[in-house]
């Protein structure tokens, strides 16, 4: 399973590059606003830093303006995946862009029926928001399971990109279901490294080592 970083914060991206875990980046208008940067400069900088797909979202809702914005965003670098909302207009834009081999990430997916339409529209990625469904008392991972089953039935090429992840268990559940990608805020990546027994075990090893008086170097 690929791991994308869900942030538009350049410093956060730079800090995690050395881990070798980052296969791409996703942004959205809220994350761009939070970063305080200009969208075109920010996406260009992220593309310079990261090798994989970098999602940049349109901010219009009508077809013509979304297409015009998509032209600007996709011209930044070939690795840009233009993010469009899961609306009828968004899927028309998705179809037009995918026919020109421009990557499209269809975002704000909350049902399997929506995911089916996105795949038929030629989306490179579908982004179901698991955390926002969990927030409402639903089980976001059930949606991922349904989309996996449907896409398998018809051999769709669209990659399932688990979005709105809230905790490390979402990562494990997504991987168990065979999702293609999960996008994670930096804090969740940091949490993934952690286990109390790792900390406890390391402390005990170091304590015992100190008693030997030895040094490897």
Please provide residue 61's backbone torsions phi and psi, each rounded to the nearest 5 degrees: -125, -10
Q: Which is nearer to ligand E4P, 107 or 159 (CB)?
A: 107
CA-to-CA distance for 57 and 21, rounded, in angstroms?
Answer: 23
Q: Is 2 a residue that touches ligand E4P (CB under 6 A)?
A: no
3-state secondary structure labels for all residues of 69-91: HHHHHHCCCCCEEEEEECCHHHH
Q: Does 131 bind ligand E4P (CB under 6 A)?
A: yes
Distances, alpha carbon 120 to alpha carbons 59, 117, 152, 179, in Å? 23, 5, 13, 18
Can you read off the two tokens belonging to residue 158? 């669209």
Please report, in angstroms and rounded to a whole number, the separation of the first and last CA atoms in the chain.
38
Nearest-approach distance from CB 214 to ligand E4P, in angstroms: 48
Instruction: Give the x/- contact pattern for ligand E4P in 91-120, rule: CB under 6 A.
Output: ----------------x-------------
Residue among 98, 124, 158, 183 that touches ligand E4P (CB under 6 A): 183
Instruction: Tell me which stretch binds ligand E4P (CB under 6 A): 13-21, 124-132, 174-182, 194-202.
Output: 124-132
Q: Is 26 in the site for ligand E4P (CB under 6 A)?
A: yes
> Binding segment for ligand E4P among 43-51, 67-75, 126-134, 200-208 (CB under 6 A)?
126-134
Nearest CA among 139, 157, 152 for reference residue 178: 152
Q: Does residue 127 bind ligand E4P (CB under 6 A)?
A: yes
Q: Does 6 bind ligand E4P (CB under 6 A)?
A: yes
Catalytic residue among 45, 83, 120, 200: 83
How many angstroms separate the CA atoms of 69 and 123, rounded? 17
Number of residues that bind ligand E4P (CB under 6 A): 11
Residue, CB closest to ligand E4P: 164
Nearer to ligand E4P among residue 6 and residue 9 (C-beta): 6
Q: Has 83 been annotated as catalytic? A: yes
Whose tokens are 């593309």? That residue is: 47
Q: Considering just the CA atoms, what is the radius of gyration of the chain in Å?
A: 20
C-alpha to C-alpha distance for 152 and 145, rounded to whole angstroms = 11
Q: Residue for token digits 């990261």?
A: 50
Question: Which of the residues are catalytic?
Answer: 83
* Contacting residues toward ligand E4P, per CB under 6 A: 6, 26, 28, 107, 127, 129, 131-132, 163-164, 183
């Amino acid at each position: 399973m690929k791991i994308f970083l869900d942030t538009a914060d350049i410093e956060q991206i730079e800090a995690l590059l050395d881990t070798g875990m980052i296969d791409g980046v996703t942004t959205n208008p809220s994350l761009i606003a939070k970063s305080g940067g200009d969208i075109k400069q920010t996406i260009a900088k992220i593309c310079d830093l990261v090798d994989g797909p970098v999602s940049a979202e349109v901010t219009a809702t009508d077809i013509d303006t979304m297409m015009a914005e998509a032209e600007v965003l996709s011209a930044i670098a070939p690795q840009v995946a233009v993010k469009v909302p899961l609306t009828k207009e968004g899927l028309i834009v998705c179809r037009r862009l995918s026919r020109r081999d421009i990557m499209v990430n269809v975002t704000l997916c909350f049902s399997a029926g929506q995911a089916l339409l996105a795949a038929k529209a030629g989306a490179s990625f579908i982004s179901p928001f698991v955390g926002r469904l969990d927030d409402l008392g639903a089980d976001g991972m059930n949606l991922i399971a349904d989309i996996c089953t449907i896409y398998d039935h018809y051999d769709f090429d669209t990659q399932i990109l688990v979005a709105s992840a809230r905790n490390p268990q979402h990562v494990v559940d997504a991987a168990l279901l065979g999702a293609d990608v999960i996008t994670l805020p930096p804090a969740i990546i940091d949490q993934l490294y952690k286990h109390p027994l790792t900390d406890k075990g390391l402390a005990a090893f170091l304590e015992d080592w100190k008693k030997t008086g030895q040094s490897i170097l």
